[in-house]
Amino acid sequence: MQRIRRPLNLLRTDRRRFVQAGLAVGFSLKIPAGAFAQDGKVNFYNWDTYIGEDTLENFTGETGIQVQYDLFADNNELFAKLRNGNPGYDVIVPSNDYVERMILAEMLMEIDHDKIPNIANIDPMFTDPAFDPGRRYSLPYMWGTIGIGYRKSAVDAPPTSWSDLFVSDKYAGRIALLSEPTNVLQLAMKAAGHSLNDWTDENLAAAEAMLLAQKKNITAFAPDNGQDLLLAGEVDLAMEWNGDILQVMEEDDDIGYVLPEEGGLLWEDCLSIPVGAPNVDNAHALIDYLLGARAGADIADFIYYATPNAAALELMDETYTDNPAIFPPPAALEKSELAIFPGQEMLRKIDEAWTRVKAG
């Protein structure tokens, strides 16, 4: 005889099944982490691998303030996160041109210098930049350059000009550029002999044409792994951040870093407090701690970027202070420039030029 199968009738429910379903729904909900304001807490939003190993632990040990540490991958992610209102961060780490952008958009809170005695540790070179006069909205954290990483055995001499990447076909098929439109076009303008902040329609068009002509010689537009391509031998020249190249220089002696004679791009990452931060006093405490000599030295020693903290610099040894990839020679540094925010109009034109380069 055929077995009659009763179909499962969920609607003919019983109390036990209803409770089970209810628990399932309940456990899938979560009370948001920031729902209850807490004393002794600070929310720190930073780049990945951009702090010393024990820095935050030591901070909590000294001050008793707990740190909620979140990570972002690039400035665009940071800006997009904060664009529609601060989701609860107390201290953020934007780069100089994004500090400028956020000041314009009124997203940053003024920093009370009285609460930050360690401001005295900052090297005078960084105390009054054009993008934030008087450092009202930001304090320097780390700085560095974008230059050329290269494989010593593959070139007859260290590259001396951006045109090796942007114009010449000497290294055809062995070149990697960054993938951020603004950075690449800025340095293309440098290769053409202009300032990297000279955003005019003509300069932009010339840079676009230069890139379209060079595109066949370029192996990759690498988002942040140009140094890996260099290490793996897939490319011989890479436009990259100095810190990234330093990482692979540790693993391979055959890799070098140089700022070309036109100069490179100078960048500065800064500590800021976004408007709407829930723990403003603790934010000041964290910033003050990070600007301390010991903390600054620990951070610099671990992440190997250049520190703007003069007091921390005194605690470092020559392998750090004399490293030309971290602290470029004055001649090259002089011609390197900090980027300014091009403005929303120009951002659109930059994007359109970049789309044409990528589609061509």
Partner 1 sequence: MAEGRQAAARRPWVFAAFALPSLGWLLVFFLVPLGIIFLYSVGENVSLTRVETTWTLSNYARILEPEILDLALRSVRIAGLATSICLVVGFPMALVIATASPAAKPWLLLAIMLPFWTNLLIRTYALLNILGTRGRLNEALGWVHGKLHGAFELVGLERLGLLEERFTPFTFLGTETGVVIGIVYVSLPFAILPLYSALERMDRSLLEASLDLGAGQLTTFRRVLLPLALPGVVSATIITFIPALGQFLTPDLLGRGQVDMIANVIERQFKGANDWPYGAAISMILLYATFILLALRAFADARRSAARAR
In terms of Cβ atoms closer than 10 Å to its own Cβ (0-12, 13-18, 19+), residue 239 is buried
Q: Which is nearer to partner 1, 14 or 250 (CB)?
A: 14
Q: Which is nearer to partner 1, 181 or 308 (CB)?
A: 181
* Tokens of residue 306, six digits: 């250049």
Tokens 């940071």 belong to which residue?
Answer: 78
Q: Which is nearer to partner 1, 15 or 156 (CB)?
A: 15
| Residue 28 beta carbon to partner 1: minimum distance, rounded to whole angstroms | 10
| Residue 263 beta carbon to partner 1: minimum distance, rounded to whole angstroms | 23
Instruction: Decide if 331 contacts 339 (C-beta within 8 A).
Output: no
Q: Which is nearer to partner 1, 73 or 120 (CB)?
A: 73
Q: Which is nearer to partner 1, 208 or 262 (CB)?
A: 208
* Tokens of residue 156, six digits: 């007859």
Q: Which is nearer to partner 1, 214 or 307 (CB)?
A: 214
Q: Where along the sequence are the contacts to partner 1 (CB under 8 A)?
A: 7, 9-13, 21, 25, 74, 76-77, 79-80, 83-84, 101, 104-105, 107, 179-182, 215, 218-223, 232, 234, 344, 347-348, 350-352, 354-356, 358-360
Q: Which is nearer to partner 1, 183 or 282 (CB)?
A: 183
Distance CA 223, CA 149 (A): 15
